[in-house]
Amino acid sequence: MRSTERLFVIVRRATDGLAIVVIGLVVSAVILGRLVPALGHPVYVVAGASMAPAIEMGSAIVLESVAPTDLAPGDVVSLRSGPQRAVFTHRVIRVAERAGEVWIETGGDANPAPDPTWTDPTRDWTMDNEEHVNNFDLYLNMNRALKNTDISVNYTFSDSDNAFTFGGPRIASLTAAGTFEALPNVTNSFKQLRADVKYFVTPKVGVGFGWWYEKFDVTDFATIDLPGQPGVPRIDYLGEISTGYGNRPYDGNTVSVRLLYLF
């Protein structure tokens, strides 16, 4: 009987210990995933083994922003590099100053040689979009405004102003030197007016007349003119699919006549 009780005590203690470990892991995950980033310290999970054994793959690291001039050989840094601007975590091997800028040579502890390129944090920059869109629609339907006649008028107006916002130390240094030139805003406006008149000869038979006017204006620095036709932009069908508008201004009129029959 005592053997059975002792076994139950061991199992209960093991279960309690496992529960404490699980609770600890959950609390740690909440702190790392929610509380720490909220305090201004991003948290990343290391996806490679280049810093083993100091930092094993799967480790969670907490980042703190520092000035490039505060870095020294032996420090571990997380930087963005390469065409994809991927984040990697390596150790600083050498710090040098070139033309008034700080350059850093890094390498992974488990890698045989330093990284092939120098990383200069002062050259990092960011870009974002800020777009303001205004829409206005007016609908006027006048059924039997005249004898046997329905009249409708619809007007639509939309304009967009898309600005590019830049940030980062590189933009600040270029601005201070007076050499930074931001991308110009991309703007467009669309106007559409539709008028329709339906006249019924009998309660079931009638005739309809329609007029449709559209005007589209766009200013886009990426517009390319047609070959040999300066000032006449080409139609970018691919851009129209991806952005929802063609970058070629136009205006047009459409007139329609139709026969109506009510079943």
Tens of pLDDT, residues 203-222: 899 999 999 999 998 888 77
- Whether the predicted pLDDT of 34 surpasses 70: no
Weakest-pLDDT range from 24-28, 91-95, 229-233, 254-258: 24-28
Asked whether 70 and 92 are in contact (CB, 8 A), the reply is: no
Rounded Cα gap, residues 100 and 20, in angstroms: 53
Rounded Cα gap, residues 212 and 92, in angstroms: 66
pTM: 0.50
Domain ranges, ordered by start, for the chain: 1-40, 43-122, 126-261
Asked whether 67 and 33 are in contact (CB, 8 A), the reply is: no
SS (H, E, C) 111-122: CCCCCCCCECHH
Tens of pLDDT, residues 106-159: 888 888 777 766 666 777 888 888 899 999 999 999 988 888 999 999 999 999
Half-sphere exposure of 214 (CA within 13 A, CB side): 8
Q: Give the mean pLDDT of 181-199.
A: 92
Rounded Cα gap, residues 36 and 27, in angstroms: 12
Q: Which two tokens stand for residue 122?
A: 């002062």
Tens of pLDDT, residues 60-117: 888 888 888 888 999 999 887 766 777 888 899 888 887 777 888 888 888 877 776 6
In words, the CATH class of domain 43-122 is mainly beta
1: pLDDT confidence band, cut at 50, 70 and 90?
very low
Predicted local distance difference test score (pLDDT) of residue 133: 93
Predicted local distance difference test score (pLDDT) of residue 118: 62
Rounded Cα gap, residues 6 and 182, in angstroms: 75
- Whether the predicted pLDDT of 8 surpasses 60: no
3-state secondary structure of 5: helix
3-state secondary structure of 228: coil
CA distances from 92 to 74, 109, 135 (A): 5, 10, 53
Predicted local distance difference test score (pLDDT) of residue 120: 66
Which DSSP category does 32 fall into? I
